[in-house]
DNA sequence: TACATATGTAAGCAACACTAACTTAGAAAG
DNA sequence: CTTTCTAAGTTAGTGTTGCTTACATATGTA
């Protein structure tokens, strides 16, 4: 039994098995994607037995949901922080939010893909949907303020959706690495700026 | 031996096992995603033994590549057809190409996701990359003609990329079904038209 | 001490990718 | 028409992996 190696640190009651398991799964997803990871592997990584997770999660899908849930919070946090960094310039603010979104995808591509490709097992999860809407809300408020409208306005909704869509698509193309070889025509910040001005600019009304 | 049921139709030499296997895999991918399908299941669906595929494909990844390859052709065909349908109105042409892209994603979401998420096993495939670029070329030519520029122009590249990105992102959001419940602010054709005009419009230069 | 909670051990079992060896059918050659 | 060759399929495995459960064990709390 090669157990007593770091005896002092090994407590039976792990203390944060749930948290560390989620972290392990997150790392594995980054390597092999949402379908590639296995509970066993995550347990090995976290240093616990393969049965331990079932005290904290119902099944495989439930673990994934947990990972995505945390990721949603991180994403929204990053977007909000970017938004707060530009209290004056609304165009720059919108660009910064978009850049935060893209950076998140670039930094955690596996998780990012998981967040949106999670169709199996539970279809729509109430909680996740609400968090998705919250993220979009950050964009919406910035757009609305730029246009001098209330966030609930149809025009604010339309344009923030268009911008989100653009950023979302670019993120996917970036992480799918179609861009190293495919034509990435211009520095990213200039691209963001161009699109932002096109959609939000004075004569861009729909 | 319950074999002689449809004896007349069952030939030992299948004739088009490769083709039918690809079709079976395509259907399975639509249901369970690129990682969800199994060779065994595809064989069951195609009515052949589990070893048969190995005469035609090296391994699992090779089959996937085959499916994606065909899908690329279908996608480009649809885009080109949409382009050809509007010889006069260049704005309508660009919108139609985008709509064809979105329709493809909506109609074959699993395959669509597979086409772009295929990072495992072979990273970049020369052939697939070329086909991807060809699809983008359809957009690029339409955009260039609208702007009165050559397709190789940086501006044509930038704007066609921006449009592609937008359509790509919208497609993903559609197939991830974030849109039934999330805010889809306006009919799709109006959305496309608005964005097209914003990016391509006279005062949208970057 | 008694009970609840958290973790480990071990095993069931199902599925799958891939291989080896054999079989069939058609085609080419004589 | 027969022989022979080869491509395409089949049967029957092998080895691996993984999810999940039943039960044992350790720890915390009242």
pLDDT band at B8 (very low <50, low <70, confident <90, very high): very low
Strand D neighbours (CB under 7 Å) are A 11-13, 37-41, 50-51, 54, 59-60; B 12-15, 17, 48-52, 55-56
A55 CA – C4 C1', rounded, Å: 13
Q: What is the pLDDT of residues A19-65, one digit of tens each?
A: 999 999 999 999 888 888 999 999 999 889 999 999 999 999 899 99
A119 chain-B contacts, CB cut-off 8 A: 33, 176-177
**Could you tell me how many CB contacts below 8 A there are between chain A and chain B?**
150
Task: Scan for tokens 């919250």, then name that residue.
Answer: A134
Answer yes or no: are the C-beta atoms of A24 and A39 closer than 8 Å: no
Chain C: bases < 7 Å from a protein Cβ: 6-11, 15-21, 24-26
Q: CA of B13 vs C1' of D6, distance in Å?
A: 13
Long-range pairs for B58-65: beta carbons < 8 A, 24 or more residues apart: B61/B120, B61/B121, B61/B122, B63/B21, B63/B22, B63/B25, B63/B39, B64/B25, B64/B34, B64/B114, B64/B118, B64/B121, B65/B118, B65/B122, B65/B125, B65/B128
What pLDDT, on the 0 to 100 scale, is given for residue B184?
A: 65
Q: How would residue B3 be classed by pLDDT, with cut points 50, 70 and 90?
A: very low
CATH hierarchy code of domain A13-57: 1.10.10
**Contact across the interface for A136 and B182, Cβ inside 8 Å:** yes
Domain ranges (residues) in chain A:
13-57, 70-200
**Closest residue in chain B to residue A116, using alpha carbons only:** B176
| Architecture label for domain B14-57 | Orthogonal Bundle (1.10)
State CA B68 to chain mean position distance. Answer: 8
How many other C-beta atoms are found inside a 10 Å radius of the C-beta of residue B14?
Answer: 15
Instruction: Give the pLDDT score at B13.
Output: 67
Which helix H or strand E contains B21, and what residues bound it? Answer: helix B17-32
Question: Cα(first)–Cα(last) distance of chain B, in Å?
Answer: 72
B55 pLDDT more than 80 = yes
- For testing contact with chain B, the best of A198, A201, A203, A205 (most B CBs within 10 A): A198
Summarised one tens digit per residue, pLDDT across range A3-20 is 333 333 456 656 678 999
The C-alpha atoms of residue B49 and residue B40 are separated, in whole angstroms, by 8
pLDDT of B152 > 60? The answer is yes
Confidence of residue B129 (pLDDT cuts 50, 70, 90): confident
If you write DSSP's letter for every residue of A155-179 in order, what string do you get? HHHHHHHHHHHHHHHHHHHHHTTHH
- The CATH class, in words, for A70-200 is mainly alpha
Cross-chain residue pair A164–B169, CB shorter than 8 Å: yes
Q: What percent of chain A has pLDDT over 90?
A: 65
* The pLDDT of residue A121: 41
Predicted pLDDT of residue B187: 87
Q: How confident is the model at residue B7 (pLDDT cuts 50, 70, 90)?
A: very low
Average pLDDT of the residues in B112-140: 82
Contact A191 B162 (CB under 8 A): yes
Residue A172 has pLDDT above 60, yes or no: yes
What residues contact residue B51 under an 8 Å CB cut-off, 6+ apart? none
Dihedral angle sign, alpha carbons of residues B112, A111, A104, A161? positive
Q: Nearest residue on chain B to A32, judged by CA atoms?
A: B120
B34 versus A205: which is more confidently predicted? B34
Q: Which CATH number does B60-200 carry?
A: 1.10.357.10
Query: Residue written as tokens 């319950």?
Result: B2
pLDDT of A204 > 50? The answer is no
Q: Which nucleotide is nearest to A36 (CA to C1')?
A: D18
A85: enclosing H helix or E strand = none
Share of chain A above pLDDT 70, in %: 83
- Residue B103 makes CB contacts below 8 A (sequence gap 6+) with B78
Per the CB < 8 A criterion, the answer to whether B96 and B156 are in contact is no
* Residues lining strand C, beta carbon within 7 angstroms: A 3, 12-15, 17, 47-52, 55-56; B 11-13, 37-41, 50-51, 54, 59-60
- pLDDT of B170-192, one tens digit each? 999 998 865 655 556 678 999 99
The bases of strand D with some atom under 7 A from any protein CB are 7-13, 17-23, 26-28
| Whole-number pLDDT of residue B180 | 58
Residue of B4 and B22 predicted with greater confidence: B22
Mean pLDDT of A67-86: 97
What would the two tokens of residue B159 be? 């704007």
């Amino acid at each position: 039994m090669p157990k007593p190696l770091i005896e002092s640190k090994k407590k039976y009651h792990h203390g944060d098995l749930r948290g560390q398991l989620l972290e392990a799964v997150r790392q594995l997803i980054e390597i092999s994607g949402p379908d590639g990871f296995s509970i066993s592997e995550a347990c090995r990584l976290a240093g616990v037995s393969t049965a331990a997770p079932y005290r904290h999660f119902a099944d495989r899908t439930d673990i994934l949901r947990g990972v995505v849930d945390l990721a949603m919070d991180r994403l929204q946090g990053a977007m909000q922080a970017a938004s707060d960094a530009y209290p004056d310039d609304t165009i720059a603010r919108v660009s910064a939010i978009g850049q935060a979104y893209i950076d998140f995808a670039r930094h955690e591509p596996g998780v990012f893909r998981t967040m949106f490709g999670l169709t199996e097992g539970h279809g729509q999860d109430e909680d996740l949907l609400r968090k998705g809407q919250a993220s979009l809300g950050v964009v919406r408020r910035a757009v609305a303020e730029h246009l001098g409208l209330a966030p609930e306005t149809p025009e604010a909704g339309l344009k923030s959706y268009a911008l989100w869509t653009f950023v979302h698509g670019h993120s996917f193309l970036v992480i799918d690495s179609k861009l190293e070889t495919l034509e990435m025509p211009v520095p990213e910040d200039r691209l963001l700026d161009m699109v932002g001005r096109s959609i939000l600019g004075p004569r861009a009304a729909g």
